[in-house]
């Protein structure tokens, strides 16, 4: 009697088969949703500068654990640790997304040919999500590296970084790219996991969110630039009255 040897394949759910792929899809969606939720919260936190320097200052102190400090001031270390955590999620998400990237010239040609012959909105959305995802890996890494190496934030310090540190050049590109990638991603996750099948409604909500967040982010960036242009060097941290 011959002994059968079980070889891991896509049929029996080996390490590179269907079971692994399903788990990877779940983890990719989960990390994507976490990053999307963080984006929404983070943009509104940054937009608190629109309510005044003191409001933004108070938000910073709360998020950095100021309520646990005897002086009421937060710890920049909290920002560093959280930035490292987000960077880890970004790396995991990007690594899982790379499974879907075309890696050969023939695959790119087939994709472009398909997109030229069949006008499929979701395929085009996936294409632009892939392109923006590739760009974001570098932009997000640069942004988070800045927060890890220099975690001090506040009305004056953040405005100084944006204006005198020329970080606005990064954010002008970063803002539309991250919104396109994030909102397309949330749209696809909702459809993929059956949260809703109403594509038209989800697209409309995504488009409205896109316009809203783009306006919110642009106004915030303009405000930081305006504050930064009025600062005198060396920049002193903002002190509330």
CA separation for the pair 71, 82 (Å, rounded): 22
Give the span between the Cα atoms of 89 and 94, in whole angstroms.
Answer: 8
Going by C-alpha positions, the residue among 96, 85, 100 that lies closest to residue 38 is 85
Annotated binding site: 42, 93, 143, 181
Closest CA to 200 of 209, 187, 189: 187
> Distance between CA 206 and CA 213 in Å, rounded?
10
Token representation of residue 218: 């642009």
Residues tagged in the binding site annotation for heme b: 42, 93, 143, 181
Q: List CB contacts of 115: < 8 A, sequence separation 6 or more.
A: 123, 124, 127
Label residue 65 left, alpha or beta by phi (over 0 means left) and psi (-120 to 50 means alpha). left
Please give the backbone phi and psi of residue 158, each rounded to the nearest 5 degrees, phi first.
-70, -40
């Amino acid at each position: 009697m011959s002994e059968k040897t079980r070889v891991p394949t896509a049929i029996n759910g080996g390490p590179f088969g269907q079971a692994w792929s399903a788990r990877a899809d779940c983890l990719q969606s989960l990390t994507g949703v976490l990053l999307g939720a963080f984006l929404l919260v983070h943009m509104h936190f940054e937009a608190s500068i629109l309510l005044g320097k003191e409001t933004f200052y108070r938000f910073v102190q709360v998020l950095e654990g100021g309520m646990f400090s005897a002086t009421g001031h937060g710890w920049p270390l909290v920002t560093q640790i959280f930035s490292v955590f987000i960077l880890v999620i970004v790396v995991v998400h990007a690594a899982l997304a790379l499974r879907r990237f075309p890696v050969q010239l023939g695959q790119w040609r087939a994709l472009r040919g398909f997109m030229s012959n069949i006008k499929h909105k979701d395929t085009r959305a996936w294409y632009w999500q892939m392109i923006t995802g590739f760009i974001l890996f570098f932009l997000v890494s640069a942004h988070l590296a800045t927060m890890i190496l220099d975690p001090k934030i506040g009305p004056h310090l953040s405005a100084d970084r944006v204006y005198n540190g020329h970080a606005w050049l990064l954010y002008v590109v970063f803002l539309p790219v991250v919104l396109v990638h994030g909102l397309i991603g949330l749209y696809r996750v909702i459809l993929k996991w059956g949260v809703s099948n109403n594509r038209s409604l989800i697209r409309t909500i995504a488009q409205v969110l896109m316009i809203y967040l783009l306006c919110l982010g642009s106004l915030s960036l303009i405000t930081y630039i305006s504050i930064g242009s009025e600062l005198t060097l060396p920049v002193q941290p903002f002190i509330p009255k």
